[in-house]
Chain A
Amino acid sequence: SQQGEEDPQALSIQEGENATMNCSYKTSINNLQWYRQNSGRGLVHLILIRSNEREKHSGRLRVTLDTSKKSSSLLITASRAADTASYFCATDGDDKIIFGKGTRLHILP
């Protein structure tokens, strides 16, 4: 069972532009996390937002959470070539960390 569903599945933008990806989930959560995965590598944790938080920042990352709509968004500002990766949201469903299918982000030079 996959709790989170990212949208869009793939996104290509020019370097320097902002990238926004969304995550919707089905059941109530305690927290929601975003991870990045470079091709063929393990996942790297980006940010965790708790259910009582609405927005969180970390460097060029901004995450929002709307528990009434069961959705979250990840904004990457001033994108760089190194941001090319897959991005996953993860929720704590039934005490497990459950991942969505991810958004593949490609930054064009």
Chain B
Amino acid sequence: DGGITQSPKYLFRKEGQNVTLSCEQNLNHDAMYWYRQDPGQGLRLIYYSQIVNDFQKGDIAEGYSVSREKKESFPLTVTSAQKNPTAFYLCASSILLGYAEAFFGQGTRLTVV
């Protein structure tokens, strides 16, 4: 089955901790994205990547970091510098950056406890 998988579905973080959200795709897509969604809000772009070993900051990159060491994987680390990390995080991929439909994972709900 081709698709994009995010894990875990729910994640709890203590204040001051870094946590890493996993995103894996087997669609052979070059472009991958991370979005943040707050309740009742739209999606805000955190980071995006066009190819392996290259990624760009989105609109709200502060307090987050990513890596793109493999085409299939684009993990997101929420660092302790992110002051309000509680949100729903969505990973997506597309064949081309910006010009084609995006396929989304089912999301990770992160809660700070």
Specify which chain A residues have a CB less than 8 angstroms from the CB of B74 in the assembled complex: none
Nearest CB of chain B from residue A20's CB, rounded to whole Å = 19
Within 8 A of B (CB), among A85-102: 88, 90, 92-102
Counted as pairs of residues, one from A and one from B, with CB atoms less than 8 Å apart, the total is 64
How many residues does chain B have at the interface if contact means C-beta atoms less than 8 Å apart? 29
Specify which chain A residues have a CB less than 8 angstroms from the CB of B90 in the assembled complex: 42-43
Please, how many angstroms separate the alpha-carbon atoms of A37 and B98 in the complex? Answer: 19
A97 touches B94 (CB 8 A): yes
Closest B residue to A2 using CB positions: B42
B102 touches A43 (CB 8 A): yes
B98 touches A97 (CB 8 A): yes
Task: Tell me the interface secondary structure of chain A in the complex.
Answer: mixed
- Is A61 positioned at the interface, with any CB of B under 8 Å from its CB? no
Binds A, one of B61-69, B75-83, B103-111: B103-111
- Is B21 positioned at the interface, with any CB of A under 8 Å from its CB? no
CB within 8 A of A30: which of B58, B94, B99, B103? B99
Specify which chain A residues have a CB less than 8 angstroms from the CB of B35 in the assembled complex: 99
**Among A31, A43, A104, residue most surrounded by chain B Cβ atoms (within 10 Å):** A43
Binding site for A on B (CB under 8 A): 6, 33, 35, 40-45, 48, 50, 58-59, 88, 90, 92, 94, 97-107, 109
Could you jot down 7 A-B contacts, CB within 8 Å? A2-B42, A31-B99, A42-B6, A43-B90, A45-B103, A96-B48, A97-B94
* Shortest 7 CB-CB contacts between residues of A and residues of B: A42-B104, A101-B42, A92-B98, A95-B98, A99-B43, A45-B101, A43-B104
- Identify 8 new A-B residue pairs, CB closer than 8 A, beyond the known A41-B107, A88-B42, A96-B98: A33-B101, A42-B106, A43-B104, A44-B104, A95-B50, A97-B45, A97-B102, A98-B45
